[in-house]
Amino acid sequence: MKESIRIMSVVGARPNFMKIAPFTRAIAEHNATAEERQVPTIDHLLVHTGQHYDERMSASFFDALSIPRPDIDLEVGSGSHAEQVGHTMIAFENALREHRPDWVVVVGDVNATCACSITAKKEHIKVAHIEAGLRSGDREMPEEINRIVTDSLSDLLFTTDALADENLTKEGVPTDRVHCVGNIMIDTLEYCREQALSRSMEHILKENMLEGRTPPTLSSEPHGLMTLHRPSNVDQPAVLGPIVHFICNEWASDMPVIWPVHPRTRKNLQTFGLWNQVVDCESLILLEPVGYLEMLFLNAHAGIMLTDSGGLQEECCVLGTPCLTLRWNTERPMTLKEHGGVSMLVGNDASKIEQAYRETKGQSRRSFRPPLWDGSAACRIVEVLIAATECTK
């Protein structure tokens, strides 16, 4: 028996942190009893590429989710896609040559996911992808390119559901590489649920108001919640302008709307001259990007969510928050109403959003939990990794 297996896992941007937290915990649990069970221990190294680097976009998640500090920080920072991917590959190659892991584990679909899987394969190191098989069918999305490249290179593909398995079968991925393990994001949701729900609205608003503004006092009526960051929604004034008009003139007149503003979106609102409109809208509560526990609290108490985030679509599904997804397609169809979920695709045309909003507001919460979205995905992943390493020794 090999005494230990070296795994290097990679995070780069905010949505990765919720996916790696349960994995690091599952490794610690595995190691605690490995000797007694006579199985190899895992020697784990965590790499942060540094794509997201702000306290609020990165470090706060390590604290809230008890993720160990990264062993290696590549500090690539922001830049164009080619700059991010290129700088990550150069720095990651050095890390691989120094540490020679048995496996590189990548999660999700950000630039770090793609850059590190390419680099690992060129160094003849096996790659495992957590959250494999998701496809939006939209190659305009940088994330779709990252998914396709990563999956085509991966030796092990960990999927969230049967629809993702079908996508991989259609692409000719050998079935013995694919393991449906459930949704690791839901591991984090279940692990944090109690702690998140013990937060207070008053405290969350006070700590996160944009530019230190005075927080309003909210009634017990449900609020609206929204996030927006995709280039397709926020990079053009002709798209973002009408969305902002709908939020300020219709939605926020019905209920208070809480909006943690992503750095990309804030920059664009300012550039396009829309910033004053949102700041002046009285029942629109603008927050800095909030932490994971705070977002979970806000989501669990929201009457309706408008978002273009993939992760929030999944969290709404399990929490039961009616969700309008501001995209024309999704790589997470399992969360849609037609598959039993709570989310509707409404695109980014303001009149369509408005119509869907009118149909949805006032709907009650209804939770939907797809098979294996049970909080134990990370343990299944660790078991498969150990078995796969033993087989290929």
Catalytic residues: 229
Distance, first Cα to last Cα, the chain: 9
Long-range contacts of 271-275 (CB under 8 A, 24+ apart): 272/237, 272/240, 272/241, 273/237, 274/237, 274/240, 274/241, 274/244
Q: Considering only CA atoms, which of 144, 92, 159 is closest in space to residue 121?
A: 92
Instruction: Looking at residues 69 to 128 of the shown chain, list those that interact with ligand UD1 (rule: CB under 6 A).
Output: 78, 109-111
Q: Judging by beta carbons within 10 Å of its beta carbon (0-12, 13-18, 19+), is residue 66 exposed, middle or buried?
A: exposed
Tell me the closest approach of the beta carbon of residue 346 to ligand UD1, in angstroms. Answer: 18
Complex with ligand UD1: residue 261 or 378, whichever CB lies closer:
261
Q: Per-residue string for binding with ligand UD1, 299-338, x by CB under 6 A?
A: ----------------------------------------
Interacting residue with ligand UD1 among 229, 327, 332, 380 (CB under 6 A):
229
Q: What number of CA atoms fall less than 13 Å from residue 371's CA on the CB side?
A: 7
In a 13 Å sphere around the CA of 171, the CA atoms on its Cβ side amount to 22
Q: Interacting stretch for ligand UD1, rule CB under 6 A, among 12-20, 194-202, 253-261, 296-304?
A: 12-20
Strands (E), 270-342: 284-287, 302-307, 323-325
Q: In the complex with ligand UD1, which residue's Cβ is closer, 111 or 167?
A: 111
Spell out where 123-220 has E strands: 126-132, 156-159, 178-180
Q: Determine, following the binding rule CB under 6 A, whether residue 263 of this chain makes contact with ligand UD1.
A: yes
Least separation in angstroms between residue 292's CB and ligand UD1 is: 12
Q: Which of 19, 52, 135, 199 binds ligand UD1 (CB under 6 A)?
A: 52
Residue 53 as a binder of ligand UD1 (CB under 6 A): the answer is yes
Near ligand UD1 by CB under 6 A: residue from 2, 28, 29, 54:
54
SS3 of residue 198 by DSSP = coil
d(CA 305, CA 325): 8
Question: 289 vs 333, which CB is nearer to ligand UD1?
Answer: 289
For ligand UD1, the binding residue among 8, 11, 15, 26 (CB under 6 A) is 15
Instruction: Decide: helix, strand or coil at residue 58.
Output: helix
| Of the candidate residues 9, 49, 51, 188, the single one contacting ligand UD1 (CB under 6 A) | 51
Q: Can you give the C-alpha Rg of the chain in angstroms?
A: 21
Stretch that binds ligand UD1, among 241-249, 257-265, 337-345, 371-379 (CB under 6 A): 257-265
Please report how close the Cβ of residue 347 comes to ligand UD1 at its closest, in angstroms.
18
Handedness of CA 73, 19, 300, 257 (dihedral sign): positive
Identify the residue whose tokens are 């584990």: 105
| Distances from the Cα of 314 to the Cα of 154, 172, 249, angstroms | 24, 27, 28
| β-bridge partners, 165 | none
Q: Select 86 or 142, whichever has its Cβ closest to ligand UD1.
A: 142
Candidates 53-61, 122-130, 132-140, 147-155: pick the segment binding ligand UD1 (CB under 6 A): 53-61
Which range, of 31-39, 237-245, 258-266, 338-346, touches ligand UD1 by CB under 6 A?
258-266
Cα–Cα dist 379/362, whole Å: 38
Judged by beta carbon, residue 102 or residue 131, the one nearer ligand UD1 is 131
Per-residue contact string for residues 264-293; x = within reach of ligand UD1 by CB under 6 A: x-----------------------------
Strand, helix or coil at 103? strand
Report the alpha-carbon distance of residue 369 to residue 205 in Å, rounded.
30
Name the site residues for ligand UD1 (rule: CB under 6 A).
13-15, 51-54, 57-58, 78, 109-111, 142-143, 229, 262-264
